[in-house]
């Protein structure tokens, strides 16, 4: 029967490709549909895109038509599948800078393999059919006259334009929302989004060339009026001259604290430590595509991550006024400890830009089959144990960042290392997550004992913060089973809370704060504890221990949280109850300001604006070095 098909091959390929893309959008990607118009747009856009791409074949000679249709189907499917695997991990879509982060790919093998599903084979079936028809059925190769070519191209273009018009009606100023990839994919399709992403990426490269120092004054004024505090906290200077040990707890989310599996606490040490520390229970991560690297960037600079890339990769040559640079002027040595290779996330380059003195990467550690735990190499327990000798030899006072590794997607480990049962949900990722979290909890407890034995505990303050989510909303069904509730968009925001603990040995006062806070607040908070308060710094965060604080925590996609409200998916919720509010005035008050603040941070990074600024004397300079 197949050899009798006499429809044009390009049309068959376009319809098949459009159909499977729609199935992927509608039933695999977690794209929220809020009204009939969105449903219509989602139905049209995969076919509109497929038709406009495959229509190029009608302008080609028969043999070139065959090759074009076959390999376009193959390449398009590969792009779909790479996005699918990426989405399963991050609930997000790939950007051009992400693809250019090729140095990371070698370390992602185990995680990527875990994202492959048996049913994925169906994504490739149309390729087999198209290749078969191209070879066996000459009836599918049609030579069109000039008028026919023009008519087919015009029809395809008209469908695409109609898609864009409907998208703009449904979401005005859609193309100004480059930070919200789901809206773009949902309205214009994955492939058009990728083209748009390339254009935006190219535009950002031009911004640095065109930038000058005039924008700094405007940003300074904004920060002075909206994102700074003249209040001095009661804890200012309490850790003056002490070491700072910052532990970046990989993928640790707040929801596991005080939770149990079969009567066994998941984080027994952290639960106890919170009672002896300052703890912020409504502390949100603000990372984006850069994940851990974004967390490091935000913490060091009190700037926001980029909307479409990791700053560590795209802007590692910029000038920054990062925390390591500032504390160096006050006699501090700075170092990062991480059991991964030095080039992952371009750390070996970016750490120089941030002002770190030392980077103890994988090559400083002995990694063997005996101390590997999970899919990412050196286990956290061995990592901390081997780090002590380097820490003891650092000149004091020091600022150090220890980045853990074991609690990393796909959250798998040999059961001989597990000290708690797996969960029993429909998600292998969540089931294993509790075990790797428990292992990390034990490793941190062990590290505290090692610090005491080395005589460093009493001379230090210890900050522990989760860097980003571990369980994406792709696993909402399983998360609902564990938390015994249906997960709503409001809950998705609340699940972005990560632990933030400040432990000051021999400090009697402890407290759990319910105020909202975010990663942009870490830099001013740590500097204040050390008694370092630079007058000319440009940051978007404020000291967590002051009351005169910014009234919202902004996320990279334009969502935000205030003391009373959660704004996400264009919906305003009561922060304490999760109730959808008909009166949205509480959220409306901050929408524009959040977007403006994100824009100002982007301007600083894209334009490399700090190169025009002398932070030593708070005077602008015209140097461009």
Residue 427 has a pLDDT of 93
Mean pLDDT of the chain: 89
Res 434 pLDDT > 60: yes
Going from N- to C-terminal start, the domains of the chain cover 2-206, 229-543
CATH topology of domain 229-543: Alkaline Phosphatase, subunit A (3.40.720)
The tokens describing 38, both together, are 């969105």
Beta carbons within 8 Å of 217's beta carbon, 6+ residues apart: 620
* Lowest mean pLDDT, pick from 383-392, 440-449, 608-617: 608-617
Asked if residues 462 and 450 have their Cβ atoms less than 8 Å apart, the reply is no
pLDDT in tens, 563-587: 999 999 999 999 999 999 999 999 9
Dihedral of CA 500/503/504/509: which sign?
positive
Residue 109 has a pLDDT of 53
Which DSSP state fits 579?
P
Reported as a pLDDT band with limits 50, 70 and 90, residue 101 is low
Residue 103 has a pLDDT of 52
Q: One of 292, 400, 404, 539 is an active-site residue; which one?
A: 292
* Residue 203, CA distances (Å) to 198, 404, 464 in order: 9, 36, 38
Residue 119 has a pLDDT of 81
Residue 168 has a pLDDT of 86
pLDDT above 90 covers a percentage of the chain that reads 62
The more confident residue out of 179 and 155 is 155
Res 217 pLDDT > 60: yes
The string of DSSP codes covering 464-525 is EEE-S-SS-GGGHHHHHHHHTSPPPHHHHHHTTB--EEEE-TT----EEEEEEEEGGGHHHH
Residue 623 has a pLDDT of 38
Going by C-alpha positions, the residue among 395, 482, 467, 381 that lies closest to residue 433 is 482
Rounded Cα gap, residues 266 and 589, in angstroms: 39
Residue 28 has a pLDDT of 86
Is-cis flag, bond preceding 397, omega within 30? yes
Beta carbons within 8 Å of 589's beta carbon, 6+ residues apart: none
Q: Where are the beta strands (DSSP E) in 352-434?
A: 358-360, 398-403
pLDDT in tens, 341-350: 887 888 988 9
The H or E element containing residue 124 is none
Rounded Cα gap, residues 501 and 150, in angstroms: 65
* Lowest mean pLDDT, pick from 178-182, 432-436, 559-563: 178-182
* Residue 18, CA distances (Å) to 15, 83, 228, 621 in order: 5, 16, 50, 54
* Residue 516, CA distances (Å) to 345, 507, 619 in order: 29, 24, 33
Going by C-alpha positions, the residue among 158, 20, 157 that lies closest to residue 79 is 20
Asked if residues 441 and 384 have their Cβ atoms less than 8 Å apart, the reply is no
Q: Where are the beta strands (DSSP E) in 160-303?
A: 243-249, 260-261, 264-265, 278-284
Rounded Cα gap, residues 18 and 38, in angstroms: 17
pLDDT in tens, 501-511: 999 998 888 89
Q: Is 292 a catalytic residue?
A: yes
Rounded Cα gap, residues 367 and 382, in angstroms: 9
The tokens describing 572, both together, are 């305003």
Residue 176 has a pLDDT of 61
Q: Taking residues 34-51, what's their average pLDDT?
A: 90
Q: Taking residues 321-350, what's their average pLDDT?
A: 92
Residue 182 has a pLDDT of 78
The more confident residue out of 288 and 179 is 288
The tokens describing 35, both together, are 């009204």
The tokens describing 618, both together, are 């708070």
Residue 399 has a pLDDT of 98
Q: Taking residues 221-232, what's their average pLDDT?
A: 86
pLDDT in tens, 63-100: 888 889 999 999 999 999 988 888 877 677 877 666 65
Residue 145 has a pLDDT of 83
Rounded Cα gap, residues 90 and 86, in angstroms: 6
3-class secondary-structure state, position 238: coil
Asked if residues 227 and 594 have their Cβ atoms less than 8 Å apart, the reply is no
Reported as a pLDDT band with limits 50, 70 and 90, residue 317 is confident
The more confident residue out of 6 and 254 is 254
Reported as a pLDDT band with limits 50, 70 and 90, residue 4 is low
- Which ranges constitute the DSSP H helices of 484-548? 489-494, 522-529
The more confident residue out of 163 and 197 is 163
* Residue 371, CA distances (Å) to 439, 449, 555 in order: 13, 19, 37
Report phi then psi at 608, rounded to 5: 50, 50
Rounded Cα gap, residues 255 and 283, in angstroms: 12
Residue 136 has a pLDDT of 73
Burial class (CB in 10 A: 0-12, 13-18, 19+), 4: exposed
Q: Across-strand partners of 372?
A: 378
């Amino acid at each position: 029967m197949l050899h009798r098909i006499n429809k044009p091959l390009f049309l068959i390929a376009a319809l098949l490709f459009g159909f499977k893309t729609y199935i992927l959008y509608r039933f695999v990607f977690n794209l929220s549909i809020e009204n009939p118009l969105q449903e219509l747009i989602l139905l049209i856009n995969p076919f509109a895109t497929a038709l406009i791409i495959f229509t190029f074949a009608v302008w080609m000679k028969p043999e070139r038509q065959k090759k074009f249709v076959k390999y376009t189907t193959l390449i398009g499917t590969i792009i779909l599948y790479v996005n699918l695997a990426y989405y399963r991990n991050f609930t997000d879509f790939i950007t051009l800078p992400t693809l250019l982060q090729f140095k990371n790919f070698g370390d992602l093998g185990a995680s990527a393999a875990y994202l492959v599903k048996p049913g994925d084979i169906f994504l490739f079936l149309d390729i087999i059919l198209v290749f078969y028809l191209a070879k066996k059925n000459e009836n599918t190769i049609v030579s069109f006259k000039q008028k026919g070519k023009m008519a087919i191209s015009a029809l395809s273009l008209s469908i695409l334009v109609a898609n864009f018009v409907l998208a703009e009606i449904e979401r005005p100023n859609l193309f100004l929302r480059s930070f919200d990839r789901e809206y773009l994919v949902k309205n214009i399709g994955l492939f058009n989004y990728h083209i748009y992403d390339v254009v935006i990426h190219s535009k950002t490269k031009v911004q640095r060339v065109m930038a000058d120092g005039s924008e700094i004054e405007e940003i300074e004024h904004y920060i002075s009026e909206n994102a700074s505090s003249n209040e001095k906290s009661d804890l200012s200077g309490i850790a003056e001259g002490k070491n700072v040990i910052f532990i970046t707890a990989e993928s640790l989310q707040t929801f596991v604290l005080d939770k149990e599996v079969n009567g066994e606490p998941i984080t027994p040490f952290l639960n106890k430590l919170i009672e002896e520390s300052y703890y912020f229970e409504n502390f949100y991560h603000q990372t984006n595509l850069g994940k851990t690297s974004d967390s490091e960037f935000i913490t060091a600079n009190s700037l926001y991550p980029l909307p479409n890339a990791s700053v560590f990769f795209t802007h590692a040559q910029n000038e920054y006024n990062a925390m390591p640079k500032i504390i160096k002027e006050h006699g501090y040595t700075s170092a990062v400890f991480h059991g991964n290779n030095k080039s992952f996330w371009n750390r070996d380059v970016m750490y120089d830009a941030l002002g770190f003195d030392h980077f103890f990467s994988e090559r400083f550690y002995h990694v063997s089959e005996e101390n590997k735990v999970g899919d990412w190499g050196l286990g956290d327990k061995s990592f901390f144990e081997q780090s002590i000798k380097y820490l003891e030899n650092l000149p004091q006072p020091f600022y150090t960042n220890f980045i853990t590794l074991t609690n990393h997607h796909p959250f798998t480990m040999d059961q001989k290392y597990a000290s708690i049962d797996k969960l029993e949900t429909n998600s292998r990722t969540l089931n294993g997550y509790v075990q790797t979290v428990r292992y990390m909890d034990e490793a941190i407890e062990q590290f505290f004992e090692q610090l005491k034995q080395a005589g460093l505990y009493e001379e230090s303050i210890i900050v522990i913060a989760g860097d980003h989510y571990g369980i994406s909303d792709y696993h909402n069904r399983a998360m609902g089973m564990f938390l015994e509730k249906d997960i709503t968009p409001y809950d998705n925001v609340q699940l972005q809370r990560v632990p933030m603990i400040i432990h000051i040995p021999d400090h009697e006062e402890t407290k759990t704060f319910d105020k909202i806070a975010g990663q942009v607040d870490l830099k001013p908070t740590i500097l204040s504890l050390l008694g370092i308060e630079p007058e000319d710094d440009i940051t978007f965060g404020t000291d967590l221990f002051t009351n005169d604080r910014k009234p919202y925590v902004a996320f990279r996609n334009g969502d935000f949280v205030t003391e009373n409200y959660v704004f996400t998916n264009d919906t305003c919720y009561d922060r304490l109850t999760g109730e959808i509010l008909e009166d949205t005035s509480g959220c409306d008050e901050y929408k524009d300001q959040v977007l403006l603040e994100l824009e100002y941070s982007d301007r600083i990074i894209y334009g490399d604006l700090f190169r025009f600024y002398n932070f030593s004397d708070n005077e602008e300079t015209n140097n461009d070095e």
